[in-house]
């Protein structure tokens, strides 16, 4: 729910200029050449502040600070003290929850209820979770009869570059930063240029929590020929963790190859949502509304390819269209709003281009496809349902990353599995059925990093998370994150 306090905060942030500086070696600093770029509020299309634009010089300074910090108090800090610092970061995020939620909604255009109920609490929990994991996590030990014993020692990688997307800025940045710090590394973060504000605040939160200067650094900027490429090419950066679009991932991979950096990628998705006729349609509709349109469909896990078994197809469409029409598109700080603004003009035009392409490909728009009346300022788009397309159409095959879904009927398991797997992506999938054997059978044959059965976005942070094919490299979560952010040394002692 919207609160008077959040409304007041929002009005304050929207009415004043909010500037974002780099954070290097414990201090906020401008770019050496004074360069900046505008930060746009996507809900209004207006400038809300300026952002320092960094490049190679700022990245060099940040990496040097991080490299020095590796040998400083962060290295000598006891594990228990580091756990307490990491937990404290989560506590401070919760103490500033309302402020951070407002900043996130101003920066992204998402509804304030979403920022306040999911983005910020989960950001805090990421630190709490990995602090607890560090306390309980162990390493391997093997005894070779009575000859020798082997045991593993976990060590930090060094300086790690974290490159973040714009759709869930604080949530996904903390998802990387928490395990990276837990493993003892130092960090240079590059937030998405479209959403710099909460990351900028996070740097101060880390310092207030007791993180030594130089351990956490931020350089704002762009990708090619800017802060992003400087970070991925830097010889003193040991690893890059990137969440974002697949094409950018390929560019980063090529750049990182020069220094053989360790890579973790969570990339794009074109996720299937498979609905069998024996499932509970009311339950399916309630969750599918979320998996289609939450966060304006700007979530890599959204189920944008919906496949419905033919006996349930017409009934599903009737209910799905009706519920979609009830979604209120509007001001992120209006309590009635369920769908806010898309991230910016370029992305807005891209998503609208796919809707026009769907018409050219023979698709029919059952609802949506337009900007709501009265919302000419900002980048708003009605939730859109498209039918009449087959699996060869670009609208079905390519990631749109907006409030746009296609619905396609199917007749057999074999048919829908073939369609679900006929993609370059393999991030997630959902399967809806009350047949237990079918649930196991179908879920096990889908090429995706995570498959939900009769649910969506239900996450246990201990489990592996990541994509197959062009949806990513590696896995995050629990021990998988700690393994990525650390080196293991095996020590063999002859008895």
Tell me which residues are annotated as active site: 266
Rounded to the nearest 10 degrees, what angle do helices 120-136 and 79-95 cross at?
A: 170
Q: How far apart are CA 75 and CA 63, in angstroms?
A: 16
Tell how strand 364-367 and strand 305-309 pair up.
Answer: unpaired
Contact between 18 and 48 (Cβ < 8 Å): yes
Task: Quickly count helices (H) and strands (E) in the chain.
Answer: 18, 20
> What SS3 class is residue 338?
coil
Burial of 458 (0-12, 13-18, 19+ CB in 10 A): exposed
**Residue corresponding to tokens 């020929």:** 225
Residues in contact with 195: Cβ distance below 8 Å, sequence separation at least 6, in sequence order:
104, 107, 108, 166, 169, 343
Residues in contact with 303: Cβ distance below 8 Å, sequence separation at least 6, in sequence order:
271, 272, 273, 288, 291, 292, 405, 428, 429, 430, 456
Q: How far apart are CA 221 and CA 233, in angstroms?
A: 15
User: CB-hemisphere CA count at 13 Å for 284?
Assistant: 26
Residues in contact with 17: Cβ distance below 8 Å, sequence separation at least 6, in sequence order:
47, 48, 49, 50
Contact between 154 and 12 (Cβ < 8 Å): no
Residues of 395-412 as b/e, b for ≥16 C-beta within 10 angstroms?
A: bbbbbbbbbbbbbbbbee
Residues paired with residue 272 on neighbouring β-strands, in sequence order: 305
Residue 200 CA: distances (Å) to CA of 82, 189, 314: 22, 10, 48
Residues in contact with 218: Cβ distance below 8 Å, sequence separation at least 6, in sequence order:
22, 23, 24, 62, 188, 189, 190, 191, 199, 200, 203
- The beta strand positions in 128-231, using DSSP E, are 141-144, 148-156, 159-163, 186-190, 216-218
Four-residue CA torsion sign, 421, 424, 426, 430:
negative
Residues paired with residue 264 on neighbouring β-strands, in sequence order: 241
**Token digits of residue 38:** 């505008």
């Amino acid at each position: 729910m919207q609160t008077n306090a959040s409304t007041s905060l929002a009005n304050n942030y929207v009415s004043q200029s909010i500037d974002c500086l780099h954070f290097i070696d414990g201090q906020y600093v401008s770019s050496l050449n004074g360069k900046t770029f505008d930060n746009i509020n996507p809900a209004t299309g207006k400038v809300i502040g300026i952002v320092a634009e960094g490049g190679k010089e700022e990245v060099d300074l940040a990496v040097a600070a991080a490299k020095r910090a590796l040998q400083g108090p962060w290295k000598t800090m006891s594990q228990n003290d580091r756990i307490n610092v990491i937990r404290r970061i989560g506590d401070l995020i919760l103490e500033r929850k309302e402020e951070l939620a407002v900043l996130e909604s101003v920066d992204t255009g998402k509804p304030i209820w979403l920022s306040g109920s999911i983005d910020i609490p989960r950001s805090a929990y990421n630190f709490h979770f990995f602090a607890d994991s560090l306390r309980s996590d162990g390493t391997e030990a093997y005894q070779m009869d009575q000859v020798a014993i082997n045991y593993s020692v976990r060590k930090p990688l060094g300086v790690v570059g974290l490159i973040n997307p714009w759709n869930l800025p604080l949530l996904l940045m903390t998802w990387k930063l928490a395990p990276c710090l837990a493993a003892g590394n130092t960090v240079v973060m590059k937030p998405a240029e479209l959403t710099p504000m909460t990351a900028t605040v996070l740097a101060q939160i880390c310092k207030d929590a007791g993180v030594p200067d130089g351990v956490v650094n931020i350089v704002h900027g762009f990708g090619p020929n800017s802060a992003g490429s400087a970070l991925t090419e830097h010889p003193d950066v040991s690893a890059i963790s990137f969440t974002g679009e697949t094409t950018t991932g390929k560019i980063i991979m090529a750049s990182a190859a020069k220094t053989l950096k360790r890579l973790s990628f969570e990339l794009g998705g074109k996720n299937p949502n498979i609905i069998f006729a024996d499932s509970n349609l009311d339950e399916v509709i309630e969750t599918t509304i979320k998996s289609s349109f939450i966060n304006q469909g700007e979530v890599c896990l959204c189920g944008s390819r919906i496949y419905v078994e033919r006996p349930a197809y017409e009934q599903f469409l009737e209910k799905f269209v009706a519920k979609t029409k009830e979604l209120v598109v509007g001001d992120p700080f209006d309590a009635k709003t369920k769908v806010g603004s898309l991230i910016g003009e370029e992305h807005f035009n891209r998503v609208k281009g796919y809707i026009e392409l769907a018409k050219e490909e023979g698709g029919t728009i059952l609802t949506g496809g337009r900007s709501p009346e009265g919302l000419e300022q900002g980048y708003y788009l009605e939730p859109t349902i498209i039918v009449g397309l087959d699996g060869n159409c670009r609208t079905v095959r390519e990631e749109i990353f907006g409030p746009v879904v296609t619905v396609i009927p199917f007749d057999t398991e074999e048919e829908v599995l073939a369609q679900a797997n006929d993609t370059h992506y393999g991030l997630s999938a959902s399967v809806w059925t009350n047949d237990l054997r079918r649930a196991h059978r179908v879920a096990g044959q889908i090429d995706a990093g995570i498959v939900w059965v009769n649910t969506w976005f239900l996450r246990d942070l201990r489990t592996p998370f990541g994509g197959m094919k062009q949806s990513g490299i590696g896995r995050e979560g629990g021990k998988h994150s700690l393994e990525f952010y650390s080196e293991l040394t095996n020590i063999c002692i002859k008895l």
